[in-house]
Structure 1
Amino acid sequence: MEQSTTLVRLASMLDNDFYKFTMQCAVVSLFADVKATYKFINRGGHRYPPGFGQALRASVDAMAELKLQPDEKEYLHTTCPYLSPAYIDFLAGYKYHPQEVRIHQEGEELEVTVEGYWFRTILWEVPLLSLISELFYILTGQKRIADVDIERRTAKKIHLFNQLGVTVAEFGTRRRHSFEVHRLIASTLKKHHGNSYIGTSNVHLARMTGVKPIGTHAHEWFMFHGAYYGFKMAGGLGLENWATVFQGDLGVALSDTYTTDIFFQQFNKKLSKLFDGVRHDSGDPIEFAEKTITHYEKLGINPLYKFIIFSDGLNPEKVTHIAQATRGRIGISFGIGTNLTNDVGLDPMNIVIKLSSIQAGNDKPIPTIKLSDEKGKYTGDPEMIELAQKILGIPVDPA
């Protein structure tokens, strides 16, 4: 097959991470007039072969054919009662508009941007990344290990998690090797789950395998609030707006959009009591756990009634280390991505797509940024990053 005609098709409108749908529900409810721009970031410096941009274009164009099916709509009504009937009706009428995605390849470099109303463009990130990842392995001719070996590796991991007595969800849609591998992983986890495997972020595979779809919100929710309302308001107001839409459901707060220290300054007693727990996604996990426990104790909240979902680059060794260090001090759970869905004997890709700007009504576009607890993961306009650091009191590195 010629590279320019290589086509990867998504399995379903629901072949996406759950937090994209929950955030879309909130955006439709609160911010329907906001426009957004997303940009692809090639963190791993991957080199894309000739024809890659054309193949990605063809796969993106094919997404226009996707539509929520009647049985999928009923599944959302039954399984996700916190998604409003109005939103589910909206999703039933939603179709991807490929013209919202710009793809350009220059030599071995790839540029991808997405522009349009936020309530529409919010669904593009995860499918685009999964398409880029799957096409990369196809067009570079890399061969993975056999299915039986993938099953063996996955079963060994879930057996370890059962021995550790921890709960684990699969979070690996974005950088999976392929849908075929992802489906194999999902079925293997279900087969060997014991008490550990509790669900997947991929809604289509959750439905297909009869497990819980898992997710709340992502960094872009707080990146928007920081750009639109101000960095000092982003954490608190972002969570207040989330609670307004979901009334206490989906109560896991992402902590590191503007660093964990700033998050805990804004995570007041009301929010700490309202939200069931927090998610760790960058920086040292043990240090984060200590800060979280201390935060709850200072507010008179028993940490054992709350929990942390760890989700930053996890593998079985890291899960074991974190579990041993935090067991019996606070509730813990784990979201594991690439180590489950792209542990196939090849190097996983290091790629992301981030919200880069927002525009409300006739206002000028405002750059969005993410600071994270690792400076290497700072993303966005450098001047805006420096401004946020000054406003929030985060030390700025000398030039």
Structure 2
Amino acid sequence: MSGSLFPVSLLDNDFYKFTMQNAVVKHFPYAKARYKFINRGGHSFPKGFDQALKKAIKEMRQLKLDDQERAYLEENCPYLDPTYLDFLKGYRYDPSEVSVIQRGDDLEVTIEGLWYRTILWEVPLMAIISEFYYKMQALRRFADEDIIRITREKILGYEAIDVSVAEFGTRRRHSYQVHKLVVKTLKEEGKRSFIGSSNLHLAHLFNTKPIGTHAHEWFMFHGAKYGFKMANQLALENWTNVYRGDLGIALSDTYTTRFFFQSFDKKFAKLFDGVRHDSGDPIAFAKATIKHYERFKIDPTSKTIVFSDALDPKKVIDIADFCRSRIGMSFGIGTNFTNDVGLPLMNIVIKMTEALPEHEIWTPVVKLSDIREKYTGDPKMIELARSFLHL
């Protein structure tokens, strides 16, 4: 199914997976994690899908960081120290960490192993599942020239309203080819608005900035190790202990934004460059964020909100109209860039489900976003967390 080696690079992954991996290596080298594929959209997978996926997973063990890629990281990511880059140079995917089972048209994928190793699987696996889903059913997408035109129209529209836009679409892209076309077009046409890509390989390929900090799993693990009440505070503290002020956009909604702001005290509010919005009403979030900064006598226009929740041009315009002159803003746009090809979108995720901190026991992890539809985790643990945090 995959033909040549697929994915094409070890760096064909979201940047925050590498920044988190570096932090995990330093803080939690003995921790283990489990992840699970969640088919939110109830998609039916064609016969033989599991075999195609297993073949691609097996091929991934050949991927390795090459000298050019390392040089790019050294030049563009000085906060990734030589020790980590040496580690990444020797890193290889281990297919035995992934289990794939197909029963009829239902697909089960699980991942288990040391957290610093398994952390890299989620994004490329989702990208492969998405690409194979469309290919194996021979679903015809728009022609390349149409994708280029659509992408050009979008980025020129964003330039017209003077906003900064990053591409965040690796996980549920239609295909690598479409993703590559999109980033190339954004780079060529978005001279003022396009600020970079979350995909480290494509950022390198098109000489643009890699964008990203951390994801929900960073906070979810801290909840399993330290308890829900201490999770946000210790996750932020451990992050700053590694990056010392770099990579300063904090993800806010792992245990709801309301609870996050209880931990995001004056120290963190001053140290971090801003926060990322990933669920709930973006305008309500912006209002709460502005109010939080003003409480500490911090000028909100000196800070940035990165909006990244299912954005399209209309949503971006509405958010920009509210935020302009009130608070800094940028936008991370995913599938609206990389899967706007005339086909139904997939609704799939891979999430950490359990963590095993050193010398402890397997503990279910949860995510309590600002909307219930994005809750993930064991239902009993979700209710325990909600009760414990008075949510």
Q: TM-score when scaled to structure 2?
A: 0.99
Find 1:348's aligned residue among 345, 348, 368.
Answer: 345
Q: Where in structure 2 are the equivalents of 1:162-181 lying within 5 Å?
A: 162-181=159-178
Unaligned runs of 5+ in 2: none
Find 2:31's aligned residue among 6, 23, 34.
Answer: 34
Secondary structure of the 2:195 match is strand
Aligned residues: CA RMSD: 1.0
1:86 correspondence with 2:69: no
Counterpart amino acid of residue 14 in structure 1: L
- Judging changes above 3 Å, is the alpha-carbon distance between structure 1 residues 322 and 191 closer, same or farther for their aligned structure 2 residues? same
- Contact 1:304-1:329 within 8 A present in 2 as well: yes
Measured after TM superposition, the shift of residue 6 of structure 1 is: 6.8
Deviations 1:180-209 (A, max 9, x none): 000000110011012100000001100110
Secondary structure of the 2:285 match is helix
Find 2:327's aligned residue among 322, 327, 330.
Answer: 330
1:223 correspondence with 2:220: yes
- Count of residues in Structure 1 that have an aligned counterpart in Structure 2: 391
Specify the alignment match of 2:306 in structure 1: 309
Deviations 1:88-109 (A, max 9, x none): 1000000000010000000010
Counterpart amino acid of residue 387 in structure 1: L
Find 2:315's aligned residue among 313, 318, 329.
Answer: 318
Deviations 1:64-84 (A, max 9, x none): 110110111111111100011
Measured after TM superposition, the shift of residue 8 of structure 1 is: 6.7
Tell me the distance in 1 between the aligned counterparts of 2:228 and 2:81.
Answer: 29
1:266 correspondence with 2:263: yes
Tell me the distance in 1 between the aligned counterparts of 2:59 and 2:193.
Answer: 37
- Contact 1:41-1:351 within 8 A present in 2 as well: yes
- Contact 1:359-1:366 within 8 A present in 2 as well: yes
- Contact 1:7-1:56 within 8 A present in 2 as well: no
Tell me the distance in 1 between the aligned counterparts of 2:329 and 2:71.
Answer: 32
Q: Where in structure 2 are the equivalents of 1:237-248 lying within 5 Å?
A: 237-248=234-245
Specify the alignment match of 1:397 in structure 2: none
Specify the alignment match of 1:213 in structure 2: 210
- Judging changes above 3 Å, is the alpha-carbon distance between structure 1 residues 98 and 361 closer, same or farther for their aligned structure 2 residues? same
Percent identity among equivalent residues?
Answer: 59
Counterpart amino acid of residue 188 in structure 1: T
Secondary structure of the 1:213 match is coil
Tell me the distance in 1 between the aligned counterparts of 2:121 and 2:54.
Answer: 13
Tell me the distance in 1 between the aligned counterparts of 2:224 and 2:137.
Answer: 39
Structure 1 segments (4+ residues) deviating >6 Å: 5-8
Specify the alignment match of 1:122 in structure 2: 119
Measured after TM superposition, the shift of residue 361 of structure 1 is: 2.8
Secondary structure of the 1:158 match is helix
- Contact 1:359-1:365 within 8 A present in 2 as well: yes
1:285 correspondence with 2:282: yes
Q: TM-score when scaled to structure 1?
A: 0.97
Measured after TM superposition, the shift of residue 86 of structure 1 is: 0.3
- Contact 1:259-1:372 within 8 A present in 2 as well: yes
Find 2:45's aligned residue among 35, 48, 51.
Answer: 48
Measured after TM superposition, the shift of residue 316 of structure 1 is: 0.6
Secondary structure of the 1:380 match is coil
Find 1:372's aligned residue among 369, 372, 376.
Answer: 369
Measured after TM superposition, the shift of residue 234 of structure 1 is: 0.8
Tell me the distance in 2 between the aligned counterparts of 1:183 and 1:131.
Answer: 15
Counterpart amino acid of residue 143 in structure 1: R
Unaligned runs of 5+ in 1: 395-399
- Contact 1:7-1:55 within 8 A present in 2 as well: no
Secondary structure of the 2:147 match is helix
Specify the alignment match of 2:107 in structure 1: 110
Q: Where in structure 2 are the equivalents of 1:139-178 lying within 5 Å?
A: 139-178=136-175
Secondary structure of the 1:49 match is coil
Specify the alignment match of 2:231 in structure 1: 234
